[in-house]
Structure 1
Amino acid sequence: MRRSLSSSLVVGAIFALLLREISAVKTDVSNLRRRSPDDGTRSLCSHLIRPNGYPCTEHTVQTKDGYLLALQRVSSRNGNLRVQCGPPVLLVHGLFMGGDAWFLDSTEESLGFILADHGFDVWVANVRGTHWSHGHVTLSEKSKGFWDWSWQDLALYDLAEMICFINLKTSSKIFLVGHSQGTIVSLAALTQPDVVEMVEAAALLSPISYLDHITAPLVRRMVSMHLDQMVLALGIHQLNFRSNVLIDLIDSLCDGHLDCNDLLTAITGKNCCFNNSRVDFYLENEPHPSSAKNIHHLFQSMLYILSFLNLLVYLLLTAVANSLISLDNKFCSWNPFYFFFLCFCIKYHLLARGSPWPSK
């Protein structure tokens, strides 16, 4: 307990230094203290979708490595889940987000509702570690092993299994919509021939693949400080911005010491159309946890552009961490060119706006 507390304080102190580089408008970060929306019900359908009048069912998908993922199916307010007319579309969320990201605004502004009202058979992905998913068949969410994954596992296991599940349920090819991290996961999943066979087309919002072009000052600062390696060295495996220590620190800094509403802008860049009046509601639902290993992989991708360099650095760091005794077999057996994003045999659309800053 003492080690966990001291580790959190160190990470919090580092985060505080980063926040001092940001200036903006006040945000009530105390909303992070509110109970996670899944507490008690563990259902995205009952929390955000059915209250707006949309039929919604919950499904659970088990990955090959044992994670239990939540998948929602949504129809229009005038629709029938048993008789879906339109093609299936799978929505894949970004980093520190969950499936609720597609339903946080009004029914006229949220993509999940809009697609359902236009006749699509809407499916909503929730990757491992998010509030809406259901843990693991054997591992506790408090264990190190539960958080031993990065976005490549989301591509190989989570997204691949969800696409297969939907394909079996609907007997149709799937339209894929990804946002930010959801796009790099989608691109990686589409390097698998069996997955490509089940996908009709993909629309990638704020798309990312190689990350060397990112210019967001806060993100670049964290990368240059090797914040990801510090976190891993401290034995922290889950990054949860709803932890009491981090919330206390951020709340203190943002209450008279710093203005924190522009933290999002420092990460994503300026957005002409962001609804500031909804920030408190967004914070009631976001952010979701992610793994420290996932952040490490993303940061590493910003430092080492080529995938084989990424793999080589990972293997070397793993060897050092294990005193040169053993390496992770699943990485040693991979072709180092596995995630080169080449030509896909599907239609895809890339949608981006403004300068190359990450979205989430």
Structure 2
Amino acid sequence: MAKKRLFLLTLLQLCSTQSPDFSIPNILIAVSKHAADKVTSSSTVARTTRTTRTTSSYTNTLTDAVTPVNWMPQGIARALGPVSSHIYSVTNKGIDLVQFVKDYREASKNMDAILDIDELIPKYGFRVEIHAVTTKDFYKLTMYRIPGDGRAVFLMHGLLGSADDFVVAGRDSGLAYLLADAGYDVWLGNARGNKHSLSHSTFKPSEAKFWDFSFHEIGLYDLPAMIDYVLHKTNKTTLTYIGHSQGTTAFFVMASEKPEYNQKIHLMIALSPVVFMENVRSPIIRLMSPGTLLTDGFSKSLGQYEFLPDNNFIKVMKLLLCEAGPIAEIVCSNALFLVAGFDYQQLNISNLPVILGHVPSGASIKQFAHYGQGVLSDDFRQFDYGFDANLKRYGVGVPPSYELESVIAPVALFYSESDWLAHPKDVERLLQSLSSVVDMYKVPLQQFNHLDFFMARDVKNLVNNRVLKVMMAL
């Protein structure tokens, strides 16, 4: 308890200071020192002598952190890569702040911001159904359905997202609404750990075991359970799968680990596919990548396993990345923008309160750690628990890679130039790793980013119309 208090005081002090010592390396050194104290008191971890820099791990990285602690700034430098800090800044430059504040205040009157999704969908004339699905490992998931006579379409959200993502763009632009207008039978999934799926047969969200999952478990358990449920309810043998961000990651996990599910997919549309992470530009994901040291430091020391919008790590990132001012204050109040980026030119100010009212929706810190591991490993592979734990779990010291050659379902890849999480080079690499790509579409707008795929002002014309076109062609 004393260590926990000391760790909190250290972090809070760093969060509140503007001194020269306020820097990412110094923050992480404080975290690594705390982790090192824990390591030296653990005979189990202290016995670990096999270390490798190619394997991000709890045990090995923490052992390295004991001596020397100075490795952390080098790890951060390696993780951040050859990028300038200014590309991450959320600023007020070139923006009419008076007009922005006026428009935002007017938009704040929109009641859609406070309506639950099962209230929001009927408001625009659609029927909505709520369905409960239990996974093989006993997580209880919620699905929403907009019934239609056409082919079943299953939409899966991204990291920190939920089913809400596919309706927040509004009645005329939201992908779920457009699909329903076209006559499709629309199913909206929710991964374990988001606001709609916070239940388990045994564990409670207040328990660490509830949050012991990454995108691996979402792909291995959540997606198969929901897909089987949809096919059973609709009496169909296949469906169209549309995923955004983590919704694509989890799909490729499922299609690799459970190849029989390829036969259940008529078409998979990957919006901003996140698989290979070498060129990822998200500062938060990159800062997680020098090992799972941060996961251990923040989660185990603070007893916090859920990625919360108001946690201390996010407070630090806000101070580092955000300038003072109305737009920065509004944007940086939302953890999702800090993770995935921000595009003012495509921001629909009149719809911003609705977006902020529905996202983010929750996630496990382990999900971020898994993505962070992918940055340094330069591979798409299972979670790294450390050499010894990997031997017990996988039979090898390094986590096995997902076998993308097993993915044979037809895949359409949608990507953009300014995506913080799905860099064009990494998407090109994914293209080369798949044998069944039927369409490759780059959004024709330079600044289009990761979140724009579901919330951009012009998302209907730039993305969703193309989605419908591909679906009708196949």
Give the TM-score band, short-chain normalised.
Answer: 0.7 to 0.9
Aligned equivalents of 1:349, 1:290: Cα separation in 2: 26
- Tell me the CA shift for residue 257 of structure 1: 11
Q: Which residue of 2 aligns with 1:185?
A: 250
Percent identity among equivalent residues? 23
**Would the aligned equivalents of 2:390 and 2:397 in 1 still touch at CA under 8 Å?**
no
Amino acid at match of 2:159: L
Q: Which residue of 1 aligns with 2:272?
A: 206
**Would the aligned equivalents of 1:240 and 1:288 in 2 still touch at CA under 8 Å?**
no
Q: Which residue of 1 aligns with 2:192?
A: 128
Aligned equivalents of 1:217, 1:238: Cα separation in 2: 19
Q: Which residue of 1 aligns with 2:376?
A: 303
> For the structure 1 residues 216 and 147, does the alpha-carbon distance in structure 2 shift closer, same or farther, using more than 3 Å as the test?
closer
- 1:216-295 aligned at under 5 Å gives the runs 216-217=282-283, 219-221=285-287, 223=289, 227-234=294-301, 235-241=303-309, 259-261=328-330, 263=332, 264=337, 267-268=340-341, 270=343, 272-295=345-368
- Secondary structure in structure 2 of the residue aligned to 1:314: coil
Deviations 1:188-219 (A, max 9, x none): 11121221121111000011111112134554
**Gapped runs of 5+ residues in structure 1?**
76-83, 320-325
Amino acid at match of 1:146: F
- Identify, as 1 or 2, the structure richer in helix: 2
The alignment covers a number of residue pairs equal to 331
Q: Which residue of 2 aligns with 1:116?
A: 180
- Tell me the CA shift for residue 294 of structure 1: 1.2
Amino acid at match of 2:221: Y
Counterpart of 1:355 (choices 412, 418, 430) is 418
Aligned equivalents of 1:339, 1:14: Cα separation in 2: 39
Amino acid at match of 1:70: T
- Secondary structure in structure 2 of the residue aligned to 1:354: coil
> For the structure 1 residues 242 and 277, does the alpha-carbon distance in structure 2 shift closer, same or farther, using more than 3 Å as the test?
farther
Deviations 1:307-355 (A, max 9, x none): 56x65x4233xx5xxxxxx679655599954513225222110001113
Deviations 1:152-198 (A, max 9, x none): 00000001110111111112211000001111111111121221121
- 1:150-161 aligned at under 5 Å gives the runs 150-161=214-225
Amino acid at match of 1:160: P
> For the structure 1 residues 266 and 147, does the alpha-carbon distance in structure 2 shift closer, same or farther, using more than 3 Å as the test?
closer
Q: Which residue of 2 aligns with 1:93?
A: 157
Segment of structure 1 superposing worse, 146-155 or 284-293: 284-293
Amino acid at match of 2:367: N
**Would the aligned equivalents of 1:239 and 1:291 in 2 still touch at CA under 8 Å?**
yes
> For the structure 1 residues 15 and 66, does the alpha-carbon distance in structure 2 shift closer, same or farther, using more than 3 Å as the test?
farther
Q: Which residue of 1 aligns with 2:130?
A: 58
Amino acid at match of 2:242: V
> For the structure 1 residues 307 and 2, does the alpha-carbon distance in structure 2 shift closer, same or farther, using more than 3 Å as the test?
same
> For the structure 1 residues 277 and 114, does the alpha-carbon distance in structure 2 shift closer, same or farther, using more than 3 Å as the test?
same
Amino acid at match of 2:305: H
> For the structure 1 residues 145 and 11, does the alpha-carbon distance in structure 2 shift closer, same or farther, using more than 3 Å as the test?
farther
- Secondary structure in structure 2 of the residue aligned to 1:279: helix
Structure of higher CA gyration radius? 2
- Tell me the CA shift for residue 72 of structure 1: 0.8
Aligned equivalents of 2:190, 2:395: Cα separation in 1: 28
Amino acid at match of 2:123: P
What TM-score results when the alignment is normalised by the length of structure 2?
0.60
What TM-score results when the alignment is normalised by the length of structure 1?
0.77
RMSD: 3.9
Amino acid at match of 2:180: A
Aligned equivalents of 1:183, 1:295: Cα separation in 2: 15
Aligned equivalents of 1:132, 1:352: Cα separation in 2: 28
